[in-house]
Homo-oligomer: A and B are copies of this chain.
């Protein structure tokens, strides 16, 4: 009979081949938590094989590296011979689980654009004028730029013109010119002139104005390096959490205020960076912005009213290149601000940036780009064609319309595991503090766990009698003020002294949300005459996207049932796109080209959308054959 030694205690037992490691450990007096009830779902029962053999080593939840290091799940791996097993303390196991979750973190975006920033600094030495060579100061600059840098069309901005004569003379005709090509005023717009040679970094800013957060990268155009990323809340949140409520607020005379709020947030971040890195805000010479169409309208002071009214027509999809002075942004007043072009009312410059970041222009593979936020924006295509649509998913994943929903901040439940044996939950909160509520990723895992463990049925209804049967007096399913609800945390366990629950109404909202996104994909695929299973790569952008667990997102029918290796999380693709546009005119040209090239599909105008939406209002879907792995899992669960 194989001998199993447990480390670090050194305790040994004997157990027959085929014994679950979990059971072997119990025999040795080591109780390992199995929050999912031992289904191999949650990964909390990790142990490390130091020597010897186990069967069922393979597990889709473990990375190749983790497998190589010897990690196995004690609830599924079985004894195959003599073994030395390390059962690390809980903390260490958690770390490995985190690492496992690391497969969800952003895939480094690798496309290298040829460096060609719109803003550059050129050092020139001019010959001083004489009676025989009495060119004007501007013509003298133009001459040297033409001769030495092939720049034929210099446009000198008025404020520079006003100090040109003195700067040239005080610096002995040796100056550094800051030139901007990011404008239609000529190939080189002179926006600054300084005595002597260039000093320090050449600063610019890539900006992502999200409905929720404003995120900013400080970039050195000379080295191409992103120096630091800072972010803060979009201060407009005080006037409405989603784009629709902000549009409504703007219609009530709040447009100017909303513009000021976002500009204030931007200026505050610029100030933070300037203090931290000791630069004058006037040294920031360019800004590239990616944002959704409503955010861009508010930033530019354009009323977004028509965006929310049929036929959903924005004032513009391409925006003029403006100066910082025009928008009140506190960088160099002559710096250009370029807003990435939008495609439609609900497919904004953030998606154009995302498509750029996802390199859709560069792939032969049929690729789905998905940005899940308040809306789910979808782009399907490859380098030859792209179709896009917006699913008005609603803000349920962002916490709105869910009783104890909250944003992904400290105290939010981000992971739920339910034991198939006890039907009791294990929670993981952000910051490892007692729970205050549940955020989007938590909702997805909760929904998936409840489905797989039979707490709810496929229509999202609580299986009250089954749960009471299993749990008895302390049943987590009960009748609340608004129908049946599942208690995630009792008041005594929570951080605010209240029971934290997920209600049938919440579940219905979540199903509606995931259904909208899936229906969008389905309608788009049908329009293009393809099957979702034909999709070769799924690229997920957006801040929320990063925290989705693919297996569970498939289980609830949010994502199509494709092999996991076809999914990639890209992180903040909006900001990444803006950063690339800052660094390369080729990236910008590509972004402009793609925005113009994307075919927009208006779901509301599509007759099949309602049918697809209704069909998707099940878990994972009315037609479960579209989700073969989920079908198998449910069947397996039912037989237990």
Contact = CB atoms under 8 A, between A and B. Distances in A.
A312 interface: yes
A476 interface: no
A165 interface: yes
B313 A135 contact: yes
B166 A316 contact: no
Interface stretch (A156-164, A451-459, A524-532): A156-164
A136 interface: yes
Contact of A131 (B132, B310, B318): B310
A301 interface: yes
Nearest to A326: B158
Given A155-B320, A162-B302, A136 B315 contact: yes
Interface in A84-143: 129-139
A1 interface: no
Interface string A311-339: 11111111010100010000000000000
Contacts of A157: 320
Given A131-B602, A184-B184, A161 B302 contact: yes
Interface in A555-608: 600, 602, 604-605
A7 B138 CA distance: 70
Interface residues of A, number: 49
Nearest to A186: B184
A303 interface: yes
A228 to B, nearest CB: 30
Contacts of A303: 162-163, 165-166
Given A158-B326, A302-B161, A302-B162, A136 B320 contact: no
Most buried by B among A129, A139, A316: A316
A604 B138 CA distance: 23
Contacts of A604: 131
Nearest to A129: B313
Contacts of A134: 311-313, 344-345, 600, 602
Given A185-B185, A303-B162, A315 B138 contact: yes
Contacts of A605: 131-132
Contact of A185 (B131, B165, B184, B310): B184
Contacts of A602: 131, 134
B156 A320 contact: yes
A169 interface: yes
A322 B158 CA distance: 8
Interface string A155-187: 111100111111001000000000000001110
Nearest to A169: B306
Nearest to A153: B184
A44 interface: no
A301 B165 CA distance: 12
Nearest to A318: B138
A28 interface: no
A300 interface: yes
Contact of A313 (B137, B305, B316, B326): B137
B138 A300 contact: no
A400 to B, nearest CB: 27
Contact of A314 (B136, B156, B310, B314): B136
Given A156-B316, A318-B138, A344-B134, A300 B129 contact: no
Contacts of A186: 184
Most buried by B among A185, A303, A320, A600: A320
A165 B131 contact: no
Interface in A314-370: 314-318, 320, 322, 326, 344-345
A316 B185 CA distance: 17
Given A138-B316, A184-B155, A316-B138, A301 B162 contact: yes
B313 A136 contact: yes
Nearest to A137: B315
A318 B186 CA distance: 15
Contact of A300 (B139, B158, B326, B344): B158
Contacts of A313: 129, 134-137
Nearest to A311: B131
B315 A164 contact: yes
A511 B450 CA distance: 107
Nearest to A313: B129
Interface of A: 129-139, 155-158, 161-166, 169, 184-186, 300-303, 305-306, 310-318, 320, 322, 326, 344-345, 600, 602, 604-605
23 contacts: A129-B311, A131-B310, A131-B311, A132-B605, A134-B344, A136-B313, A136-B314, A137-B314, A137-B316, A138-B315, A138-B316, A156-B320, A158-B320, A158-B322, A158-B326, A161-B315, A164-B315, A165-B303, A165-B305, A165-B315, A166-B305, A184-B184, A185-B185
Top 3 closest pairs, chain A to chain B, by CB: A138-B316, A131-B605, A129-B313
